[in-house]
Amino acid sequence: MNGEADRYPFGSSAYWRLQLTLVGADAANQAFHEYGLSLSENEAHTAAHAFARALYDAEGAVAISYCNEEFAQGCAHEVMAQTISEFGLASIAELQKNCANAFKGGSYFCDHGVGHGLVDYYGYEPPDMLEALAYCDAHRAEDKLNGCYTGVFMEYFLQNVRYSSAVPKPINADQPYDRCVEDKGTARWACFYTLPLWWHQIDKHTGEQSEEKILAGMYARCAAINADIDRVACFHGMGHMVAPMAEYELDGVLTLCRQISIPIPDHLLCISD
């Protein structure tokens, strides 16, 4: 892919907008699929947001039909968020229907995308989160934990839709758990569950640490949480991060959890998610 495309950063939304113009949605989607396979899971997810922003600009809400479950559904998250941003909350019912057709039964993927869109719609400040979570409570009852709630917190912490790239919210040293201590019930669990993903992105942005050191930092932050149920939620979220870090290889998961020398009960939580 040379010529005019060289003027744009490879993999950026601008790059994919040009490709969509030059070769069309089908060919550009295939090219992105091949590109995504060359990245780590987390990198591919972020790249999928950038691609889907360009895809939405070219195709509109029907862009969801090009999305699938690969790359942690980054394409669907972005398309759904852009649709909600453009057409408002009234668009969600139709969007859910189109998403369900694309994902064939994986409704929580669709609810997760709605969660991303709600934060982009209502805003990224802590008071805005209350409105987003209230919408999850009222409308997305099927699987709020894995679906709408985690979509809300992922977007709040990582800001993927806001910037078409992972630009994590800065961490406040005086509040390493941010707003999670203010939430209740399932939303509180989902918030603590999402923290390790946020910490991982912050540490990755420094570019100075190995995955093992990043994981050890996650563990230290989780272990310092006072309430047992919040700490367990954090450890489960850490376990969720271990799998893509180990490229979904069981031996790699066991090795990473073992390398940070954590006590047996915590070790089991590390490998359980």
Q: Which of 105-109, 114-118, 132-136, 205-209 has the lowest mean pLDDT?
A: 105-109
Q: What b/e readout covers 37-48, taking b as 16+ CB neighbours within 10 angstroms? A: eeeebbbbbbbb
Residue 101 CB coordination number (10 Å): 11
* pLDDT top residue among 212 and 238: 238
The pLDDT value given to residue 1: 44
If you compute the radius of gyration of the chain from its CA atoms, what whole number of angstroms results?
18
The DSSP symbol for 209 reads S
* pLDDT top residue among 56 and 245: 56
The pLDDT value given to residue 266: 63
Sign of CA dihedral 55, 57, 59, 60: positive
147 falls in which pLDDT band (50, 70, 90)?
confident
The pLDDT value given to residue 5: 47
Which amino acid, 241? M
Mean pLDDT estimate for the chain: 83
CA distance 234 to 215: 12
Contact 154, 193 (CB under 8 A): no
The model's pLDDT over 168-216, given as tens digits with 9 standing for 90+, comes to: 888 887 888 888 988 888 889 999 999 998 998 888 777 767 777 888 8
* pLDDT top residue among 218 and 31: 31
CA distance 161 to 53: 8
CA distance 98 to 210: 40
CA distance 120 to 117: 5
Contact 157, 198 (CB under 8 A): yes
CA distance 75 to 144: 20
- Supply 44's token pair: 């591919």
The pLDDT value given to residue 271: 65
Instruction: Calculate mean pLDDT across residues 38-50.
Output: 87
Q: For residue 34, is pLDDT > 70?
A: yes
The DSSP symbol for 147 reads I
